Structure 1
Amino acid sequence: MSRTRPSPGPRLMLPGLREAYAAFVREADALPALPGALQAEVWTSAQLGTLEAAAPHEAGRRAALGDLIMSLRAAATPGARTFLRALAAIGPAVGRTAAGKAADALRDLPAAPWEGMLGRVVPGQAWLIQEGPLDGDRLVCEFRYADAGTAGMHALAVRLTYGDAPTEVVTVGDVPALMTAARQAMQAELCVVQPYDAAAVGERLRTALNGAEPLPEACYPALALARHRAELLP
């Protein structure tokens, strides 16, 4: 009696991580139901942060990213398509073209209603918040989605210590609340808040976020999204 053997799946560069990639595919099933592009980008960045934090070196990160893209393409689910579109929009530059081609191959699958907004953001005001000589600089950059008004407005907030080493990288969804709290702290003489040149912010962030040194573990979930946003600054 013959028995059908299960498909071995795509040929991977890191086959020992096959189950990890399968877990990413399963978790992506919930991605199309998220309320908007920002939430999808935050989710995608967190998954990429998990990969990068676990990779021992740059070659390992590239291999894992390539394997993930192939695994998503092979899964051929609506969630996999959406994940690939998000990777093509805000993922590491080395994988964007491959992710886009893999997503194109799944074009017949349903698309999330906000898929076309992924990565299409424009920068706004930049701020420098200084809370004290030992706390370093906190750089806050506002962003909004193109042609979407204030919907999805958000900010990237990065704290840099001595030598511009990142110690905190977060995405802020409620920008007015963030700036209100900062101004209240300034009135209480707890910090200094001032507009900051976007070009200076961009240069500092690109240098800080793409360094060779490992970052604090808490920085990784927002790291991919932060790098993408920093690319958009002058």
Structure 2
Amino acid sequence: MSAARSTPSLFLPGLRDVYAAYAREAERLPALPGALQAEVAVSERLGALEAAAPHKAGRRAALGDLITSLRAAGTPGARVFLLALAAIGPVEGRSAAAKAAASLPGVAVPDWAADLGRVTPGTVWLIQEGPLDGDRLVCEFRYPDGADLHALAVRLGYGDKPAEVVVVGDVPALMNAARQAMQAELCVVQPYPAAEVGRRLRAALDPDGTFPDEAYGALAVARQRAAALPER
């Protein structure tokens, strides 16, 4: 059963309809097959919020309002969104999102919600296609018990500026295509130190940086995965 609905006080009341739309869209989250799909969906919505924010203060205010609005909605989808936000969302909002989700103990969520954000890094690959294409860093991850292999793939251009940020669900297909390209002498594929990749990605994905429009949707997942890579 959902918690009683209320009209929360917001920092940016002019965006109330936007937050309401997020809460409605969240209702599809419990029907998704697993944690990865939910994280990707929530990351896309958080990316849209970040891309639209005019500055850091506006971004923080919108994030706080979204958490407040999801808590007020009190639905299963809203609680899943809050749990995902607590796991992979902006660091400054994770504690508030976790508390908001915990305040809805009677709202049922899928079993896979317990795995949100609980990933272990695997092999890291460097793919170089040419001096003008930059470095593509592919970092493999799995959920508990080795489930749901997936990867974060980030192409870094000149000055390690992100040119492409995507979450890859079919890692074998990606790496098979890369190896075929390597055999055709179109690129170089080699393992790369995870700590070095983590350092580069954490710097490249800093929230104060600039990103291609199409990258915003993957940033929340990408930052959480980059933080999971070893520091040394």
Query: Does 2:189 align with 1:193?
Result: yes
TM-score scaled to structure 2, two decimals? 0.96
Q: Secondary structure at the match of 2:48?
A: helix
Asked if 1 retains the 8 angstrom alpha-carbon contact of 2:27 and 2:77, the reply is: yes
Greater Rg, structure 1 or structure 2? 1
User: What residue number does 1:115 align with?
Assistant: 113
Kindly tell me: are residues 112 and 211 of structure 1, through their superposed partners in 2, closer, same or farther at Cα, counting changes over 3 Å?
closer
Q: C-alpha offsets along residues 73-123 of structure 1, whole Å, 9 cap, x if unaligned?
A: 000111111100000111111000100000001110111120100000000
Query: Does 2:104 align with 1:101?
Result: no
Alignment partners' CA distance in 1, 2:207 and 2:64: 22
Query: Does 2:208 align with 1:203?
Result: no
User: What residue number does 2:128 align with?
Assistant: 130
User: What residue number does 2:179 align with?
Assistant: 183
2:8 pairs with one of 10, 16, 19: 10
Q: Superposition pairs for residues 18-29 of structure 1, below 5 Å?
A: 18-29=16-27
Q: Percent identity?
A: 71
- Note the C-alpha offset of 1:214: 2.1
Alignment partners' CA distance in 2, 1:213 and 1:93: 16
User: What residue number does 2:221 align with?
Assistant: 225
Could you list the structure 1 runs, at least 4 aligned residues long, displaced by more than 4 angstroms after superposition.
none
Question: Alpha carbon RMSD of aligned pairs, Å?
Answer: 1.0
Alignment partners' CA distance in 2, 1:40 and 1:75: 18
Alignment partners' CA distance in 2, 1:44 and 1:153: 19
Give the partner amino acid of 2:91. Answer: A
- Note the C-alpha offset of 1:213: 3.2
User: What residue number does 2:167 align with?
Assistant: 171
Alignment partners' CA distance in 2, 1:8 and 1:177: 47
- Note the C-alpha offset of 1:9: 1.1
Give the partner amino acid of 1:129. Answer: I
Alignment partners' CA distance in 2, 1:9 and 1:40: 26
Q: C-alpha offsets along residues 161-215 of structure 1, whole Å, 9 cap, x if unaligned?
A: 0100001000000111100000000000000000000000000000000053321
Stretches of structure 2 lacking an aligned partner (at least 5 in a row):
none
Q: Secondary structure at the match of 1:153?
A: strand
- Note the C-alpha offset of 1:152: 1.1
